[in-house]
Amino acid sequence: ADAGSDPCCAEPLPVLGRDVTVPLVTGGEVTYAALDYAASAPALQRVWDDVAAYAPYYGSVHRGAGYLSQLSTDLFENSRVTVADFLDCREGDQVVFTRSTTDSLNLLASALPADCRVFVFETEHHASLLPWGDTRVTYLNAPRTHAEAVRTLEQALADRDPSPRSSSWGEPVGPALVCVTGASNVTGELWPVKELAEVAHAHGARIVLDAAQLAPHHAVSVRDLDVDWVAFSGHKLYAPFGSGVLAGRADWLQEAEPYLAGGGASRTVARRADGGVDVEWHTTPARHEAGSPNVIGVYSIASACKALTEAGFENLVAREQHLVDRVREGLAAVPEVKVLSLFGEDAPRVGVISFVVEGWNSSHFAAALSAEYGIGVRDGLFCAHPLVRTLLGSAPQDPGECGAPEARPGEVSLNAIRVSFGAGTPDEHVERFVGAVKELVREGAKWQYRTEDGRCVP
Ligand code: PMP
């Protein structure tokens, strides 16, 4: 067979840092295996090249009369079109550029109608869990199947519907928003977004998709999923830090006060006779993009969208699933390893896998992977404390930066280890990781790891 035509054997996409070597405490050095894509993925070389080609020409956007200002403005505005195409947005949807997913969800939170209720599963990343303000949120318990997730939401929304038994029967219920992740940043598991959107809409609610972990791994179609908004971050989508997207319906954003007040968001400002000022604000998206925008960040998101589309998500998914299977098989062969999962270890997931190792402190395990094998993973609670607590079945003590106290034999650590990868990951990184886990569990770490001044050191 022609190996080149097998998507699983396709080459990983070139990313920055793929040739970086790091020293090992055991002597010598190895190429760095970046297996923390869920935190920040390395930028695609292609994105970096695009930015480098554009950098000499950049100028102010939206204001300048000069040629370079016009060029920058065109690139900036065309980036919206690229992102809208990438997300398969509907007619009338808008793309607002933000700093990150966190920023996008906070922007949406600031634009909710006053009496809007928010429904969110406790399993969400803190960026999806926290922006809404406690009083108007209904937190939903962690479901253990997709069907249970749909039922839980259905029940919660039905409870707010006007009912013949309630005194408010016939009164219109206020607006509601559901916020759900497409793929968990802890377990990598996919959520039944389309079904949840259907339930939300059937009950007159809207839905925002946190696609921070989904968009880098799967094609996201706003139209097909029928979500009202989608949010994601550039730095997880193979672009550099500092830019993000909120895309979707314009109406609530249009009716809201500007997220930031300032130039760019204001159309006219004039002193009033009484001494104050009258402001006429722009329509969206400019309304929520006050201040000089991150033109390079926005341009790099658009470049990443194009690069992923050209590589073809069907190829990226096939390759990534091959890596997911390798890690799953590898970890399943180690009885001391427990993979964290809500929906079952075999549930569909992206290249994000968290686990604990019996008898090991997760921070020390992660430190050993780095120091002895040149593998960069993450340990901790991954900004999803309620979820990790549920998955570990116990309330972790304050993990600090370096994690919880030593696990005793027969116990698991109170925080977890996360390995995550994607379009730039070569097979060798995943093979090295699986080999390292097996060797560490079998032979123990070669060095002692302890916590000192909040850092893990040999
Ligand atoms: N949602 C999910 C699912 C995430 O994984 C993350 C980042 N870990 C965020 C939101 C927040 O993204 P950012 O830090 O880029 O704002």
Predicted confidence (pLDDT) per residue in 185-198, tens digit: 999 999 999 999 99
* pLDDT, tens digit (0-9, with 9 covering 90-100), for 365-400: 999 999 999 999 999 999 998 999 889 885 444 444
In this predicted structure, what is the pLDDT of residue 403?
Answer: 46
Domain edge (last residue) among 289, 310, 331 = 310
* Residue closest to 283 by CA, chosen among 92, 79, 81: 92
Phi, psi of 215 (to 5 degrees): -60, -35
In this predicted structure, what is the pLDDT of residue 402?
Answer: 45
What one-letter code names the amino acid at 12? P
Query: Does residue 62 have a pLDDT over 60?
Result: yes
Residues 130 and 145 in one domain: yes
The Å distance, Cα 233 to ligand 1 centre, comes to: 7
Residues 317 and 306 in one domain: no
What one-letter code names the amino acid at 253? L
Top pLDDT among 400 and 206 is at 206
Q: Which of 217, 237, 383, 385 should be mutated for ligand 1, with most atoms under 8 A from CB?
A: 383
- Is any ligand 1 atom within 6 A of the Cβ of residue 215? no
89: domain CATH number is 3.40.640.10
Lowest pLDDT segment from 171-185, 219-233, 270-284, 327-341: 171-185
Phi, psi of 298 (to 5 degrees): -65, -45
Beta bridge partners, 354, equal 418
Cβ-based neighbour number of residue 305 at 10 Å: 24
For the CA of 244, the closest atom of ligand 1 is 15
In this predicted structure, what is the pLDDT of residue 399?
Answer: 46
Domain extent, residue 441, equals 3-43+312-457
Measured distance CA(133)–CA(114) in Å, rounded = 12
In this predicted structure, what is the pLDDT of residue 164?
Answer: 52
Query: Does residue 325 have a pLDDT over 80?
Result: yes
Residues 87 and 104 in one domain: yes
Residues 429 and 368 in one domain: yes
Residues 217 and 305 in one domain: yes
* pLDDT, tens digit (0-9, with 9 covering 90-100), for 83-142: 999 999 999 999 999 999 999 999 999 999 999 999 999 999 999 999 999 889 999 999
Residues 70 and 39 in one domain: no
The helix (run of H) or strand (run of E) holding residue 350 is none
Q: What is the mean pLDDT of residues 198-220?
A: 97
In this predicted structure, what is the pLDDT of residue 38?
Answer: 98
Residues 330 and 452 in one domain: yes
Q: Give alpha helix (H) positions in 346-384.
A: 362-373
- Is any ligand 1 atom within 6 A of the Cβ of residue 185? yes
Which residue carries 């002692």 as its tokens?
448
- Is any ligand 1 atom within 6 A of the Cβ of residue 187? no
How high is the mean pLDDT of the chain? 91
Measured distance CA(98)–CA(157) in Å, rounded = 30
Q: Give me 61's structure tokens.
A: 């956007």
In this predicted structure, what is the pLDDT of residue 452?
Answer: 67
Q: Do residues 102 and 84 make contact, with C-beta atoms less than 8 angstroms apart? A: no
Residues 255 and 390 in one domain: no
Which residues does the annotation mark as catalytic?
383
In this predicted structure, what is the pLDDT of residue 401?
Answer: 41
Query: Does residue 282 have a pLDDT over 50?
Result: yes
Residues 73 and 219 in one domain: yes
The Å distance, Cα 263 to ligand 1 centre, comes to: 28
Query: Does residue 412 have a pLDDT over 60?
Result: no
Q: What is the mean pLDDT of residues 49-57?
A: 94
From residue 88, give the alpha-carbon distance in Å to each of 185, 198, 230, 247. Answer: 23, 18, 11, 10
* pLDDT, tens digit (0-9, with 9 covering 90-100), for 167-185: 555 556 789 999 999 999 9
In this predicted structure, what is the pLDDT of residue 162?
Answer: 67
For 452, which DSSP code?
A: E
- Is any ligand 1 atom within 6 A of the Cβ of residue 123? no
329: domain CATH number is 3.90.1150.10
The Å distance, Cα 230 to ligand 1 centre, comes to: 13
Per-residue pLDDT band at 448 (split at 50, 70, 90): confident
- Is any ligand 1 atom within 6 A of the Cβ of residue 104? no
The Å distance, Cα 68 to ligand 1 centre, comes to: 34
Per-residue pLDDT band at 455 (split at 50, 70, 90): low
In this predicted structure, what is the pLDDT of residue 330?
Answer: 98
Domain edge (last residue) among 280, 310, 340 = 310
Phi, psi of 443 (to 5 degrees): -110, -10
In this predicted structure, what is the pLDDT of residue 169?
Answer: 53
Q: What is the mean pLDDT of residues 267-273?
A: 96
Residues 98 and 233 in one domain: yes
Q: Concatenate the DSSP letters of all residues of 245-307 into one string.
A: EEEE-SHHHHHSPPSS-STTTEEEEEE-TTS-EEEEEPPTTGGG--SS--HHHHHHHHHHHHH
Q: What is the mean pLDDT of residues 305-322?
A: 97
- Is any ligand 1 atom within 6 A of the Cβ of residue 102? yes
Residues 118 and 199 in one domain: yes
Domain edge (last residue) among 310, 332, 366 = 310
In this predicted structure, what is the pLDDT of residue 117?
Answer: 95
The count of domains in the chain is 2
In this predicted structure, what is the pLDDT of residue 145?
Answer: 97
In this predicted structure, what is the pLDDT of residue 172?
Answer: 60
Query: Does residue 4 have a pLDDT over 60?
Result: no
For the CA of 185, the closest atom of ligand 1 is 5
Per-residue pLDDT band at 163 (split at 50, 70, 90): low
Query: Does residue 456 have a pLDDT over 80?
Result: no
pTM to 2 decimal places:
0.93
- Is any ligand 1 atom within 6 A of the Cβ of residue 100? yes
Top pLDDT among 399 and 70 is at 70
Show contacts of 65-69: CB within 8 Å, 24+ apart.
Answer: none
Q: Give me 270's structure tokens.
A: 């004039």
Q: What is the mean pLDDT of residues 330-335?
A: 98
Phi, psi of 415 (to 5 degrees): -130, 180
Residues 62 and 108 in one domain: yes
Q: Give me 172's structure tokens.
A: 């219109």
